[in-house]
Structure 1
Amino acid sequence: MGACDDYRAADLVLLGAPMDFTVSFRPGTRSGPRRIREVSEGIEEYSPYLDRDLADYCYYDAGDVVMPFGHVQESLQRLEKTVAVLLGDGKFPLVLGGEHLVSLAPVRQAAARHPDLAVLHFDAHADLRGDYLGERLSHATVMRRVAEVVGARNVYQFGIRSGTGEEFAFGRENTRFYPFEVLTPLREVVPLLQGRPVYVTLDIDVVDPAFAPGTGTPEPGGCSAAEIVQALHLLQGLNVVGMDLVEVCPVYDQSDRTALLAAKLVREAVLLFGKPVSQK
């Protein structure tokens, strides 16, 4: 919805990462990028929150990275190389997952270009395990790997309400750890990040499954759909250099309200982090 067909003119590029090779409960997030695109036709291009319209922006949908089934390292490498091209061309990458492990690839590339990178992580799960069933690369370990890339104190975690005791202890001691809540701690953090490069990773299961049931590991007790939209709006004015939205699993939501929420968040992200054509 609303995408332009001119890569060179676009400053924000949408990129699908249809991988779900390491999911620990219910598979199917590889279908997330496609379904988010499909249902986007059902929402308006105009945002009444921001009083902005996609018609005034030029963003490009580059399609999906081809990820060979079952090959985790190769798939991440392909995604990382693609994001490197986007960043090298001065584009803002907005990656659609797929499982949460795909976030590691764009974070690596963003950190390589921005040594002072802060990562804002919205999720129901801490994702801080050292390994999961002996595997270091998993959607259950992704934020531990991200912390190794950017430094744990540069990782800000919001809405966390699930994990092992060891994960919660690691988060409280090492990351900027804000369990259970999203908006209140985010309002406190945003002023501290002014001027710093910021990467945003948003797992749709941060939202309560009453509002977003279409995800692989739903966790009751989360924020509302309205609250996650507000959270994204709070980032306006920050130097956000990249973003991903992951873990939409359409097969578990015949109503499509999860994918519709994701599409709405993508619309808001384009309008927040892209540039109007008039300003180029």
Structure 2
Amino acid sequence: MSTKEEKIAGFDPSQPGLADASIYGLPFAAEESEIVVVAVPWEVTVSYGAGASEGPAAILDASFQVDLLHQDFPELWKLGIYLDEGPEHWKTQSDSHKAMAQPIIEALERGEDIQKDSLLKADLDRINAASETLNAELKARVLDWMAKGKKVILLGGDHSTPLGYYQALATKHSNFGIFHFDAHMDLRIAYEGFTYSHASIMYNAIQLPEITKLVQVGIRDFCEQEVAVVQSSNKVKVFTDSDLKKAQFEGKTWQQQMDEAIALLPQHVAVSFDIDALYQWYCPNTGTPVPGGLSYEQAVYALNRLAESGKNIIGIDLVEVAPGDTDWDGNVGARLLFHMCGVLAKNNGLAVGTPINFH
């Protein structure tokens, strides 16, 4: 059997990735990889556009066409990136419980009281229990990889998926913040009755005492309940898309804005990136698109500033990539994920090579 060093020597990163290999076509097994990406193909509580549970598979498919010579992290591929596709029952349970959730959502849209319908109430309880089980299983899986010395990234699925990941991080760090890129605040309380709704992820996250700050960037859609949560909590700071753009139009640089946001975070930081933080042309099939957003370049610049800020990045999640009739969403997701792997690796002192300078 070849050693990792022999695999590196025999691998040509200029050729298309190996189709029978793991993500990005890399030839490394899990035990040889510094970074493990845990896929969570789950989208039980979506109430608008669907497809996020197919996101990890779409990103995997697109990853084989990603050039591995990254300008910022030219030797990243040598570290090894491995995709843990998760247990099969996560996807099957997502499908079955999503079908169970749709009549509940439809009844709510008709103005019905779910608590007065014993059948729908029983199904709602089953969905909440299944989501809680997912969180527990994910937490255990992430901690298992961490115990093996791996840097772990979570790949959703809808935005409900990272809660078990945050719970795992909370066992390792008593004080950390979340740098959250999104079109939505996701601070609704048990949205549509679902305790673990994709629209409630950040509300649930800030209930963890170990999460001491939530800094949100790119927000452009929210409700009164969410505003009330922000105003009543000293944990949350919001940079709306409108405010960011207004400041830019009036002369404030993106560097200044991101440095201001990063300075609010504690020493340890997890990044949560909902793909709908970007302009919709980067993610045309994401579930709940909103006009406006960040450019891809703004996003990676912000991530780079965080990596170079002196803060410690302890985790990253990427969610809500939903494939459509083309492979564009998967392509953008795969490239953003690759950049995120580089950011996490560099910030954690792993060798990613010297950035390529064309000037």
TM (norm. structure 2) is: 0.71
From 124, 140, 146, the equivalent of 1:87 is 146
Cα distance, 1:255–1:91 mapped onto 2, change above 3 Å: same
Distance 1:54 1:267 in 2: 9
From 189, 192, 199, the equivalent of 2:261 is 189
2:274 aligned with 1:203: yes
State the aligned residue count.
274
Q: Where does residue 178 of structure 1 map in the other structure?
A: 239
Q: Where does residue 36 of structure 1 map in the other structure?
A: 59
* Residue 89 of structure 1: how far off its partner (Å): 2.1
Distance 1:239 1:88 in 2: 19
Check the 8 A contact 2:342/2:352 in 1, yes or no. Answer: no
Q: Where does residue 24 of structure 1 map in the other structure?
A: 47
* Residue 192 of structure 1: how far off its partner (Å): 5.0
Q: 1:124-161: CA deviations, max 9, x gaps?
A: 00100112122221001110000101467511111111
Check the 8 A contact 1:20/1:30 in 2, yes or no. Answer: yes
Q: Where does residue 257 of structure 1 map in the other structure?
A: 328
Q: Where does residue 10 of structure 2 map in the other structure?
A: none
Which AA in structure 1 matches 2:140? K
Q: Larger Rg: 1 or 2?
A: 2
Which AA in structure 2 matches 1:257? W
2:149 aligned with 1:149: no
Superposition RMSD in Å: 2.1
Q: Which runs of 5+ in 2 are unaligned?
A: 1-23, 98-129, 246-253, 354-359
Check the 8 A contact 2:74/2:352 in 1, yes or no. Answer: no
Q: 1:12-47: CA deviations, max 9, x gaps?
A: 101110000011211211100000011112221111
Check the 8 A contact 2:143/2:168 in 1, yes or no. Answer: yes
**Correspondence 1:33-112 to 2 at 5 A:** 33-48=56-71, 50-66=72-88, 67=90, 68-69=93-94, 70=97, 71-112=130-171
Which AA in structure 2 matches 1:85? D
Which AA in structure 2 matches 1:178? F
Check the 8 A contact 2:187/2:201 in 1, yes or no. Answer: yes
Check the 8 A contact 1:58/1:277 in 2, yes or no. Answer: no
Check the 8 A contact 2:213/2:265 in 1, yes or no. Answer: no
* Residue 226 of structure 1: how far off its partner (Å): 1.9
Higher-strand-fraction structure: 1
* Residue 177 of structure 1: how far off its partner (Å): 1.6
Higher-helix-fraction structure: 2
TM (norm. structure 1) is: 0.90
From 322, 330, 338, the equivalent of 1:267 is 338
Check the 8 A contact 2:75/2:352 in 1, yes or no. Answer: no
Distance 1:99 1:222 in 2: 19
From 269, 276, 279, the equivalent of 2:351 is 276
Check the 8 A contact 1:162/1:219 in 2, yes or no. Answer: yes
2:312 aligned with 1:239: yes
Which AA in structure 2 matches 1:24? S
Distance 2:73 2:199 in 1: 38
| Runs of 4+ with deviation above 3 angstroms | 150-153, 181-185, 191-194
Q: 1:167-195: CA deviations, max 9, x gaps?
A: 1232244212211139453221324547x
Distance 1:240 1:135 in 2: 30
Q: Secondary structure, in 3 states, of the residue corresponding to 1:221?
A: coil
* Residue 201 of structure 1: how far off its partner (Å): 0.8
Q: Where does residue 15 of structure 2 map in the other structure?
A: none
Q: 1:97-125: CA deviations, max 9, x gaps?
A: 10000011101110121011111111100
Check the 8 A contact 2:283/2:329 in 1, yes or no. Answer: yes
